[in-house]
Structure 1
Amino acid sequence: MPLAVCLVAAALAITTLMAAVLALSVRSRNWSIIDIAWGLGFVAVAVTSHLVSTGHGDPGRRLIALLVPVVWGVRLAAYIFWRNHGKPEDPRYTALMRRRTGPLIPYVVRTIFWPQGWVLWVVAIPISVAMCERSGVNALTWLGVALAAVGLVFEALGDLQLARFKSDPNNAGKLLDRGLWSWTRHPNYFGDLCVMFSFWLIACGSWFGVLTVFAPILMTRMLITKTGKQMLDRRLARTRGDAYIAYAARTSGLFPRPPRKDVATKVR
């Protein structure tokens, strides 16, 4: 069955990538490297699934299912590499390593690499499914492409605005609340969700593709309540105090909207 082969090949590709990142992380003692691998994981799944499903599925849909994850994943990985190069380890991983119990390798595999690896595999299932869809490109496919473009713009523009803001010494200690950052506190996370749902729409060439909606729903839950928005909001409220609380009161937590004029005192 082509889909089963794609899913197994995707798992092997992710395992290989995670093993390489683990080796680099152990050598450098910098566990933030895995953040670069997140985008590359989707690239690996798309390329591997495309190769092993050759001769199956609609060529147009297969090409779209290849290009969208590759463009998005390469851009994300390149940006995170540029952003983190020469910088200290991400505080999330530093805090995680402080809680380490037992030998190093089993601990980091259990707490960092295994969780991210299996979530990546599950969230990328629509990509593998799309590669095996026999129905041609339809309106939902193009809607997926359009949604991916929206997500890519939000991520790239948000990253550019933040990089320019941080590069100005006059902004030291200040919060960026202009541009996209005045419409949402997390343009990157909103962009991520757009892309995740775009993978699902591209896979919607049959009822089986529709059923893979669990993948973007899982990613939504992870970004909002687990390792993303909620954690970052709490950390910034703790470190930035009243300035961030006021910013959070007038600015959407995720989905873009015009900033509120009234200022509340609670992080949503």
Structure 2
Amino acid sequence: MTGFDLASFGAVALTSLLALAFLQAGTFFVARRLGRYNVVDVVWGPGFVLVAGVAPLVGSGDGARALLLFALTGIWGIRLGVHIAAQSRGKGEDPRYEEMLERSGGATERSGGGTASASAAVAIRKIFLTQGLAQWFVSLPLQVSAAAGPTRGVGWIVLGLGVAVWLVGFCFEAIGDRQLARYKADPDRGPVMDRGLWGWTRHPNYFGDAAVWWGIWLVAAAVWPGVLTVVAPIVMTYFLVHATGARLLEKSMEKRPGYREYQQRTSFFLPRPPRSGGS
């Protein structure tokens, strides 16, 4: 195959959608059994790994690039899934989901720290369907690449740049999470985490997540029409900054002593050297 196969892309898109639907359905039943819906966060990363694995099996695109994208997505997605699972083990429901379900009339009583009696219909629509569609949309670079021909010429430079951006993002996310874990385990820690990467950006994990997906997009953009899927990393970055990520977290963090000063000296999202003072 030397070009882009539209029929192949259609098959990849449909198969990816079905695979994610089965994943979310299975996650929903596990969540109901556990009595908490935040288990859906654990399969956020692995859902993309599923698409990265399924897409090239159905598509007729370049196998070498598909293997690279599977490796990049797999390393990121599995690490993220394991990390979130460890973070949520033994804890109750995420306050975000409790608030969301209560606003929608989906939580009527609580049991064992969870929202066990939340309306199944509301939970499916507000949480599982929303996440599944978001996974499908953000994974469009993987899907389009699985129906595109081999990388040639200047495309190799774009692909190499994508791998470099992915590596920067993965390091920021993984190292940032590790530094935060060490901070939480330190009995002599201060009220605000401002060490390491957290001194360069207040959200190194969210920045890293965004960079990972810009890198994956660049790898897909190495061949036509992968560049057209740029809307995917834009949407991912929007979620990480505004919708469910950094801005939302800042609302609660601003209540901590010293956090206002931390905001003044440390970049919000994009890394840069800390300022000595001012805004």
**Same fold, judged at TM 0.5 (above):** yes
Say whether the 8 Å CA contact 1:134–1:205 is kept in structure 2. Answer: no
Q: Distance in 2 between matches of 1:45 and 1:194?
A: 19
Q: Give the secondary structure class of the aligned counterpart of 1:212.
A: helix
Q: Map 1:22-33 to 2 at 5 A.
A: 22-33=28-39
Alpha-carbon distance between aligned partners in 1 of 2:196 and 2:130, rounded to the nearest angstrom? 34
One-letter amino acid matched to 2:252: R
1:262 maps to amino acid = G
Aligned equivalent of 1:119: 134
- Report the alpha carbon displacement of residue 67 of structure 1 after superposing the two structures with TM: 0.9
Match of 2:3 in 1: none
Match of 1:109? 124
Instruction: Give how far 1:87 is off.
Output: 2.2
Corresponding residue to 1:94 among 87, 95, 98: 98
| Alpha-carbon distance change, 27 to 114 in structure 1, aligned in 2, over 3 angstroms | same
AA aligned opposite 1:156: A
Secondary structure, aligned partner of 1:205: coil
Cα distance, 1:61 vs structure 2: 1.0
- What corresponds to 1:174 in structure 2? 191
- Could you tell me how far apart the structure 2 residues matched to 1:30 and 1:208 are? 41
Residue identity matched to 2:70 = L
Cα RMSD after superposing both structures: 1.5
Alignment of 1:22-101 (within 5 A): 22-53=28-59, 56-101=60-105
Match of 2:146 among 131, 139, 145: 131
8 A Cα contact 2:201 2:267, kept in partner = yes
Which residue is equivalent to 2:13?
7
1:191 counterpart = 2:203: no
What does 1:157-236 align with in structure 2 at a 5 Å threshold? 157-171=175-189, 174-236=191-253
SS in 2 for 1:126: helix
Asked if 1:251 is matched to 2:270, the reply is no
* CA distance in structure 1 between the aligned counterparts of 2:188 and 2:40, rounded to whole angstroms: 32
Find the aligned partners of 1:204 and 1:263 in 2 and give their Cα distance: 40
Please tell me the residue identity of whatever aligns with 1:31.
Y
- The one-letter amino acid of 1:177's match is D
1:65·1:131 contact (CA, 8 Å) conserved in 2? Answer: no
Q: Would you tell me which structure has more helix in proportion to its own residues? A: 1
CA distance in 2, matches of 1:199, 1:129: 12
Q: Deviations over 1:198-226 (max 9, x none)?
A: 12111113331111101111111122121
Q: Percent identity?
A: 41
Query: Any idea what the Cα deviations from partners look like across 1:211-265, whole Å, max 9, x if unmatched?
Result: 110111111112212111111111211x31x51111111111111001111144x
Mean Cα deviation higher: 216-225 or 11-20: 216-225
Matched AA of 2:222 = G
In structure 1, the gaps of 5 or more residues are none
Q: Contact 1:147–1:194 (CA<8 Å) still a contact in 2?
A: yes
Q: Distance in 2 between matches of 1:89 and 1:236?
A: 19
CA offset digits 1:76-130 (Å, max 9, x no partner):
1011111111123222123223334156111111211122111111100001111
The question of 1:144 aligning with 2:162 is answered yes
Distance 2:278 2:102 in 1: 37
SS at match of 2:194: coil
Letter paired with 1:162 = L
**1:38, 1:140 → 2: CA distance?**
27
CA distance in 1, matches of 2:139, 2:94: 25
Q: What is the one-letter code of the residue matched to 2:8?
A: P
- Where 1:32 maps in the other structure, the secondary structure is helix
Cα distance in structure 2, aligned partners of 1:117 and 1:263: 42
